[in-house]
Structure 1
Amino acid sequence: MNATRPRRFRTLFISDVHLGARGCQAGKLLDFLRNHEADTIYLVGDIVDGWALKSGWYWPQLHNDVVQKFLRQVRKGTRIIYIPGNHDEFLRGYYGTHFGGIEVVEQATHIAADGRKYLVVHGDHFDLVVTQARWLALLGDKAYDLALTVNRIFNAVRRWLGLGYWSLSQWAKLKVKNAVSYIGEYERALAADAKKHDAQGIICGHIHHAAIHDDFGIRYMNCGDWVESCTAIAEHQDGRLEIIQWLAENPEVEVPEFSEVRAA
Structure 2
Amino acid sequence: MPSSRQKPRPDYKAIFISDVHLGSAGCQADALCAFMKTHTSEQLYLVGDIIDGWRMRKKWYWPQSHTNVVRRILTAAKRGTEVTYIIGNHDEFLRAFLQFRLAFGDIRVKNRALHDGEDGKRYLVVHGDMFDGMMRADRKWIMHLGDHAYNFLLWTNTKLNAIRRRLGMPYWSLSQALKKRTKRALNHIHNFEGHVADYCRRKGYDGAICGHIHVAEMRDIDGITYMNDGDWVESCSALVEHHDGRWELLHFQPHVVKADEPVAKEARIRAVA
Q: TM-score, normalised by structure 1?
A: 0.90
Aligned AA (1:186): F
Distance 1:6 1:30, change over 3 A: farther
The residue matched to 2:40 in structure 1 has which SS? strand
Match for 2:125: what amino acid?
A: V
Q: 1:252 to 1:234 in 2, by over 3 A?
A: same
1:40 to 40, 43, 51: 43
| Pick aligned residue for 1:250 from 242, 248, 257 | 257
CA contact 1:233–1:244 (8 Å) conserved in 2: yes
CA displacement, residues 87-127 of structure 1 (integer Å, 9 cap, x when unaligned): 00011123332112110111111001121110111000111
Q: Does 1:18 align with 2:24?
A: no
Does residue 217 of structure 1 match 2:227?
no
Aligned counterpart in structure 2 of residue 123 of structure 1, from 97, 122, 128: 128
- Alignment correspondent of 2:183: 177
Unaligned runs of 5+ in 1: 254-259
State the match for 1:238 in structure 2.
Answer: 244
Q: Compute the displacement of 1:199 (Å).
A: 1.2
Match of 1:99 among 98, 101, 104: 104
Residue range with higher mean Cα deviation, 75-84 or 244-253: 244-253
Q: Describe the superposition over 1:229-260 as per-residue Cα deviations: whole angstroms up to 9, x where unpaired.
A: 1101000111111101122323469xxxxxx9
Q: Distance in 1 between matches of 2:271 and 2:219?
A: 10
Letter in 2 for 1:175: R
Q: Deviations over 1:179-211 (max 9, x none)?
A: 000000000000111112211110000000000
- Quick one: which amino acid aligns to residue 168 of structure 1? L
Provide the rounded CA distance (Å) in 1 between the counterparts of 2:245 and 2:97. Answer: 30
The count of aligned residue pairs is: 253
Q: Distance in 2 between matches of 1:183 and 1:16?
A: 16
RMSD, aligned CA: 1.9
Rate the CA distance shift 1:146–1:42 in 2: closer, same or farther, 3 A: same
Find the residue that maps to 2:87 and give its secondary structure. coil
Is this contact kept in 1: 2:34–2:257, CA < 8 A? no
Report the CA distance between 1:7 and its aligned residue: 5.9
2:232 aligned with 1:226, yes or no?
A: yes
Matched, 1:201 2:204: no
Indicate if the aligned counterparts of 2:42 and 2:82 stay in contact, CA closer than 8 A.
yes
Aligned amino acid, residue 232 of structure 1: A
- Cα gap change, 1:92 to 1:156, in 2 (>3 Å): same
Contact kept, 8 Å, 1:211 with 1:220, in 2: the verdict is yes
**Percent of counterpart pairs with the same letter?**
46
- What is the deviation of 1:171? 1.2
1:77 match: 80
Number of the residue aligned with 1:112: 117
Residue 169 of structure 1 aligns to a residue whose secondary structure is helix
Alignment partners' CA distance in 1, 2:250 and 2:120: 22
Give distance in 2, aligned partners of 1:157 and 1:105.
Answer: 41
Is 2:171–2:253's contact at 8 Å kept on the other side of the alignment? no
Letter in 1 for 2:76: Q
Q: Which moved more, 1:190-199 or 1:222-231?
A: 190-199
* Bigger mean CA deviation after superposition, 139-148 or 154-163: 154-163
Structure 1 counterpart of 2:164, from 158, 164, 179? 158
Helix, strand or coil for the counterpart of 1:113?
A: coil
Q: Which has the larger radius of gyration?
A: 2
Question: Which range moves more in the overlay, 128-137 or 233-242?
Answer: 128-137
